[in-house]
Amino acid sequence: MQIKHIALLVAMVSGSAANAQSALDGFYAGASFATFSGDNTYNDVDFPLEGQMLGAFAGYNMQSGAYVFGGEVSFMVGAANEEDFEDEYEYSSIIDFKGRVGYDSGNIMPYVVVGASSGTFVIDDDTAPDRDFDQTELGTLFGLGLDYAINDQFGLGAEIVTRNFEFEFPVAANLADVDATVNSLSLRASYNF
């Protein structure tokens, strides 16, 4: 009789552990609000960036033991502009393609991200129409994040991402080389399907 009780207890614990390990598996989606910093560097001169964007994201997680592997796509729109040139020199939208690796420690999951980013940089300078520019650039990204599970369906999180872009835009008859570092701090809310 005692052996049956022990076997039942082991089965219950094993079942609970399996459920806990699979709780992060599957699709999720959500919304975000991000603040931006960083700089555009033209010929060794830095122009600081600032601004905010709203976004949406969707992804898929697979859990193996305590580790969680996944992929995510996020889209943000708004303005991350050069501080002294608001509405003239800005990133108007950003799409991120992220690979994620996290550690399931219960309700909290810290994770790292690496991947690629696509940023649309716009110049609309009334004083120098020859500089007008609207182009989407590709770059790389890396970052850290933290997800907090409110319950099995809803979660909150925060994420810091650094993106690096290199591109050129016309200035009069010349081209300016741009090395850009675009940082974001995002607050996120998600739903797990």
Amino acid 176: pLDDT: 77
pLDDT along the chain (193 residues), means of 10: 43 40 79 96 88 97 94 96 82 97 93 97 72 84 96 95 88 76 97 93
Q: 25-192 is classed in which CATH architecture?
A: Beta Barrel (2.40)
The strand pair at 174-192 and 26-42 is best described as antiparallel
| pLDDT tens digits along 39-61 | 999 878 899 999 999 999 999 99
Give the list of residues 6+ apart from residue 13 with CB closer than 8 angstroms, or none: none
Amino acid 50: pLDDT: 95
- In this prediction the pTM is 0.82
Contact 66/104 with Cβ under 8 angstroms? yes
Helix (H, G, I), strand (E, B) or coil at 20: helix
- Neighbouring-strand partners of residue 45: 42
Amino acid 126: pLDDT: 66
Give the list of residues 6+ apart from residue 189 with CB closer than 8 angstroms, or none: 30, 31, 32, 154, 155, 156, 157
Angstrom distance (rounded) from CA 6 to CA 135: 66
For the chain, what are the domain ranges?
A: 25-192
